[in-house]
Structure 1
């Protein structure tokens, strides 16, 4: 994945995505002792950065592949992203979702034109149902985070941020399945000037932090975190990129995530999901590292159920 791939990808997907705004707050800058630039992917189409990778992955399929459709398994933002991207490009999207996924998410996927296929709420069932659809429909499987074309697409958020603010010292992004942080790290390498990337991760699902230490992809025994978008694990495509190009991963506690989410709500006047707040929580925690520096933060999405806000 070289620099030219990012440039071509960005050109390709531009008509189908938003170049999202970058927000700042003097109060937040004073609070953390650094200049903070929030790249607001909560304003992206379907409310999250995943629209970028999904669009790129579909656009790189052959004409024949597009005619047969795409399939993924997801109960979160990628389900919506692939559905909307597919609809925009006139492609069928089969979305395998666990039967216990919130109805609001199933409805959102259907609203974006996705064909929802429910399965048992286990990873094995999701994978099995996806494979069956690939065989039956001839649909192409697109992984939410462990796919080169998805990774490059997600990295365009950081590319846009660095084009607007080229002098950033660090960019912080949340770590879940690893697609965003891998794409962000490559974008920082190609479009930044000695710009380092730091991942934010909840203590409750710190598999990426442990993977960096052990050198192998670790898993989580429990997933007891409010940051529901970060419960997935790294893959064999994105992990080597993370190992090589991510500076470090900072773990944060649940109360730190809630505090960061509240600060974003109060100071920036925007809605962000807990998974996004993890990156800002990591910035607050790393006050010594970032003191006096210019810091970018990828606010990854804003798809939060306002009926169950934690504050």
Structure 2
């Protein structure tokens, strides 16, 4: 695969993961349409295996490994959704998975990793600690690193959600997805720009706005231990995802913690589906009318919530 994934890579990923990943539904809400001033189409990756879009990328990366590499097992660092996705993908292929997780990762996400048979290695909640710990795990085990977003196969796998959305809903003006390390928004931008006239819009918490700052300044400006309820959006762009976002002209908007919680509660109450704060940021941006267009697609990235610590309880 080339350094920057293409629509052909995404199509190959779709074929590779098809026996294992769900084709997730697209739902609508007249109430939200009225509040947003647009027709909004929700691509429900919260209903994906593992509870998030991350299964697509992890599955593609694991299944693409040659047999001699796969036998060594796989490893990653992740706050939760990629961790669970990689553990599940490794179980499908019958290989070990070693997962470095920050100490502040939600308990529900750690439990999911362990439930899929993954080995959890704890680290401090900083990028430096993640990188140092994963380096030790790789040296100890000889496993293959499957990075949460700095991996062309992972990005191509994430792009299969937008590929499906394009076949489910026509004539979108914009497709919206959250931004963390940039794997989902990169795959979304590649698929969307190749298949339609729609713009790709990424959404970040105001407290974790590294992508917005990086694109504005023309260089990567990482966040340092950002404080946001959207625990899946605390990572920063890498060179690969930054390059895709620049090449594809991705727009970035930000939303507050308060608006994220309001959007999350609204979706729970009105649509009767469970989404996590990292998915709610995209809903918040649409409700605030920060995304222009009459027909807007929103990728609801995941639904893995710690039910013992609800933000509106």
TM-score by length of 1: 0.95
Given the alignment of the two structures, is residue 256 of structure 1 paired with residue 259 of structure 2, yes or no? yes
Cα distance change, pair 122–174 in 1 and its aligned pair in 2 (3 A)? closer
Per-residue deviation, 1:253? 1.1
| Residue of structure 1 in register with 2:209 after alignment | 206
List gaps (5 residues or longer) in structure 2.
Answer: none
Q: How many residue pairs get matched? A: 308
Per-residue deviation, 1:105? 3.0
- Alpha-carbon distance in structure 2 between the residues aligned to 1:261 and 1:121: 24
Instruction: Tell me, yes or no, if the aligned pair for 1:72 and 1:144 is still in contact at 8 Å.
Output: yes
Cα distance change, pair 105–4 in 1 and its aligned pair in 2 (3 A)? closer
List gaps (5 residues or longer) in structure 1.
Answer: none
| Residue of structure 1 in register with 2:222 after alignment | 219
User: Following superposition of structure 1 onto structure 2, how do residues 16-31 of structure 1 map, counting pairs within 5 Å?
Assistant: 16-31=20-35
| Residue of structure 1 in register with 2:247 after alignment | 244
| Residue of structure 2 in register with 1:15 after alignment | 19
- Alpha-carbon distance in structure 2 between the residues aligned to 1:186 and 1:15: 23
**Per the alignment, in what secondary structure is the counterpart of residue 75 of structure 2?**
strand
Cα distance change, pair 22–152 in 1 and its aligned pair in 2 (3 A)? same
Cα distance change, pair 127–221 in 1 and its aligned pair in 2 (3 A)? closer
Per-residue deviation, 1:115? 1.4
User: Following superposition of structure 1 onto structure 2, how do residues 154-165 of structure 1 map, counting pairs within 5 Å?
Assistant: 154-165=158-169
| Residue of structure 1 in register with 2:170 after alignment | 166
Q: Which of residues 79, 82, 90 in structure 1 aligns to 2:83?
A: 79
**Per the alignment, in what secondary structure is the counterpart of residue 171 of structure 1?**
strand
- Alpha-carbon distance in structure 2 between the residues aligned to 1:27 and 1:303: 24
**Per the alignment, in what secondary structure is the counterpart of residue 270 of structure 1?**
coil
Instruction: Tell me, yes or no, if the aligned pair for 1:204 and 1:222 is still in contact at 8 Å.
Output: no
Per-residue deviation, 1:247? 3.5
- Alpha-carbon distance in structure 2 between the residues aligned to 1:195 and 1:103: 37
Per-residue deviation, 1:288? 7.3
Given the alignment of the two structures, is residue 307 of structure 1 paired with residue 311 of structure 2, yes or no? no
CA distances 1:272-308 after superposition (whole Å, capped 9, x unpaired) = 0011010111112236722xx1100000000011222
- Alpha-carbon distance in structure 1 between the residues aligned to 2:304 and 2:63: 25
Cα distance change, pair 286–43 in 1 and its aligned pair in 2 (3 A)? same
Per-residue deviation, 1:127? 1.8
- Alpha-carbon distance in structure 1 between the residues aligned to 2:295 and 2:135: 45
User: Following superposition of structure 1 onto structure 2, how do residues 121-200 of structure 1 map, counting pairs within 5 Å?
Assistant: 121-192=125-196, 194-200=197-203
- Alpha-carbon distance in structure 1 between the residues aligned to 2:291 and 2:148: 34
Per-residue deviation, 1:179? 0.4
Per-residue deviation, 1:136? 2.9
- Alpha-carbon distance in structure 1 between the residues aligned to 2:148 and 2:11: 21
TM-score by length of 2: 0.94
- Alpha-carbon distance in structure 2 between the residues aligned to 1:207 and 1:246: 16
